[in-house]
């Protein structure tokens, strides 16, 4: 490959993820990340790299990837192959300077317009930990091992990495009291999640089977489902999450195609009891993606507070999608479906502060004598994810956000 790419980059030639960026000119356009560069797909289209120059320039000059994704996987795969071949030329192409942008200097935007957002609850470790805090004798509810529990969230408050998140107000019940007060959340948390992007519309009334899931899943992003635990605790009965969740969620700006993740497919945990027929799956349906959470608190350097892996998820993405649509619910291009908090079997792999501090009872110790039970104003939370095997690395970059004080 003629382009110099750092050995440990998330964005190797095996990845080639899609995103939306601009370079200070205020003109959003599509790009593919490679090392410390972005291949400007609008400029590449204009140069004739993909054929149909006018058509693809228009597609790649859109402010989101929805129209491109909607063209279908065969088109997306052909674009990746053309870019791969362009990068593999023995000599630097004459149009290289015109097609490349500095990734580190670019501004990344929301890669998609999200029509609908669903959040699942697919980690048995997370569900068990949370259940133990409130139901020590019966942590998992009776339905949990039978179906991927989920809820419909708020698409309008999903933001790109780097966007600050404002501490929300809501009703909370102070300790020792029985009636609520209206106040800023004092238990602001993160949730370490992975989300998949729908790449194909389905018809209303037509379920998507586990076997068909790959046709509909375009790619994955890293996802932080910010959560106000005190607001959530008061409101969630009887209909589940609401204001404790919908004030903000953050996604990484690069969508990693699932084709790039095929080498990292693994079998998930054994499911007991065996799923009902429509949720049965064969082969490797999970991914071995290493996850990391770090916090920079009180002006101190970043400290890693959790390391986990998507392979711990009990319910796979294929099962999530099959269950979501088994009743005939249709999906749309750009729909986002998040995994729910991904926690592992040991405390250092828990995917939320709720678990890491066991409901605030066991504060985390950070450099400089700083402790945290939940996030405070000014804290910066960073998540990273990458899969690595046999010298191949496919990463997601990061999703980050700083907590702003309540208005």
DSSP characters for 67-127? HHHTT-HHHHHHHHHHHHHHHT-SS--TTHHHHEEEGGGSEE--SS--S-EEEE---HHHH
For the sheet containing 392-404, what is the strand order? 165-166, 392-404, 380-389, 290-296, 303-309
Q: What is the pLDDT of residue 299?
A: 84
341's tokens: 């908090």
pLDDT of residue 137: 83
- Beta partners for 303? 295
Domains of the chain: which residue ranges?
A: 18-108, 117-404
Rounded-to-10 torsion of CA 116, 251, 340, 312 = 130
Separation of alpha carbons 143 and 112, rounded Å = 33
Q: Cβ distance 231 to 173 under 8 Å?
A: no
d(CA 225, CA 153): 10
**Domain 18-108: which CATH number of 3.40.430.10, 2.30.30.230, 3.40.50.1820, 3.40.50.2000:** 2.30.30.230
Q: What is the mean pLDDT of residues 104-127?
A: 97
10 Å CB burial of residue 130 (0-12, 13-18, 19+) is: buried
Phi-psi region of 98 (alpha: psi -120 to 50; beta: other; left: phi over 0): alpha
pLDDT one-digit tens code per residue, 242-252: 999 999 999 99
Cβ contacts of 19 within 8 Å, gap of 6 or more: 30, 31, 32, 33, 38, 65, 108, 109, 111, 253, 254, 255
Answer yes or no: are the C-beta atoms of 273 and 234 closer than 8 Å. no
Among 8, 14, 79, which residue's Cα sits nearest to residue 50? 79
Q: Is the domain 117-404 a CATH 3.90.850.10 member?
A: yes
Give the pLDDT mean for 189-204. Answer: 98
Using the predicted structure, report yes or no on whether residue 21 has a pLDDT greater than 90.
Answer: yes
Contacts of 277 (CB under 8 A, 6+ apart): none
Q: Is the pLDDT of residue 177 over 90?
A: yes
Greatest pairwise CA separation for the chain in angstroms: 72
> pLDDT > 70: what percent of the chain?
100
Out of 37, 126, 323, 324, pick the active-site residue: 126
* pLDDT for the residue numbered 208: 98
- Residues 367-393: pLDDT tens digits? 999 999 999 999 999 999 999 999 999
CA–CA separation, 288 and 221 (whole Å): 14
CB within 8 Å of 159: residues ≥ 6 apart: 110, 165, 248, 249, 250, 251, 401
- As a whole number, the mean pLDDT across the chain is 97
The number of CA neighbours under 13 Å toward the Cβ of 65 is: 32
Residue 37 falls in the annotated catalytic set = no
**The pTM is what?**
0.97
Average pLDDT value for residue range 269-296: 97
Distance from chain centroid for Cα 2: 31
């Amino acid at each position: 490959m003629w382009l110099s790419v750092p050995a440990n980059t998330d964005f190797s030639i095996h990845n080639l993820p899609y995103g939306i960026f601009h370079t200070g000119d205020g003109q959003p356009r599509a790009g593919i990340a490679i090392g410390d560069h972005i291949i400007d797909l609008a400029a590449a289209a204009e140069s004739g790299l993909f054929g149909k120059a006018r058509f693809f320039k228009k597609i790649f000059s859109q402010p989101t990837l929805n129209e491109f994704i909607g063209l279908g996987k065969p088109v997306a795969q052909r674009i990746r192959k053309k870019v791969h071949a362009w990068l593999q030329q023995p000599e630097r192409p004459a149009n290289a300077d015109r097609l490349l942008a500095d990734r580190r200097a670019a501004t990344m935007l929301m890669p998609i317009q999200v029509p609908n957002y669903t959040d699942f609850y697919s980690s048995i470790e997370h569900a068990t930990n949370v259940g133990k805090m409130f139901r020590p004798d019966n942590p998992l509810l009776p339905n949990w091992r039978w179906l991927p529990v989920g809820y419909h969230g708020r698409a309008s408050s999903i933001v790109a990495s780097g966007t600050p998140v404002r501490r929300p107000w809501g009703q909370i019940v102070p300790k020792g009291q029985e009636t609520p007060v209206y106040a800023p959340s004092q238990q602001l948390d993160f949730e370490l999640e992975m989300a998949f992007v729908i790449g194909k519309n389905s018809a209303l009334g037509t379920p998507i089977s586990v076997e068909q899931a790959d046709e509909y899943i375009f790619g994955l992003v890293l996802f932080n489902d910010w959560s106000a635990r005190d607001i959530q605790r008061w409101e969630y009965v009887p209909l589940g999450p609401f204001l404790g969740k919908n004030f903000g969620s953050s996604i990484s700006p690069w969508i990693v195609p699932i084709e790039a993740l095929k080498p990292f497919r693994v079998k998930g945990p054994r499911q007991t009891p065996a799923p009902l027929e429509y949720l049965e799956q064969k082969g490797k349906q999970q991914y071995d993606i290493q996850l990391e959470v770090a916090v920079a608190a009180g002006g101190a350097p970043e400290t890693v507070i959790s390391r986990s892996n998507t392979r711990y998820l009990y319910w796979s993405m294929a099962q999530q999608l099959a269950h979501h649509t088994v009743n005939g619910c249709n999906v749309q291009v750009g729909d986002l479906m998040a995994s729910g908090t991904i926690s592992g079997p040991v405390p250092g792999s828990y995917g939320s502060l709720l678990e890491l501090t066991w409901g605030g009872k066991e504060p985390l110790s950070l450099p400089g004598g700083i402790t945290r039970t939940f996030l405070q104003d000014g804290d910066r939370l960073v998540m990273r994810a990458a899969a690595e095997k046999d010298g191949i690395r496919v990463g997601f970059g990061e999703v980050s956000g700083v907590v702003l004080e309540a208005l």
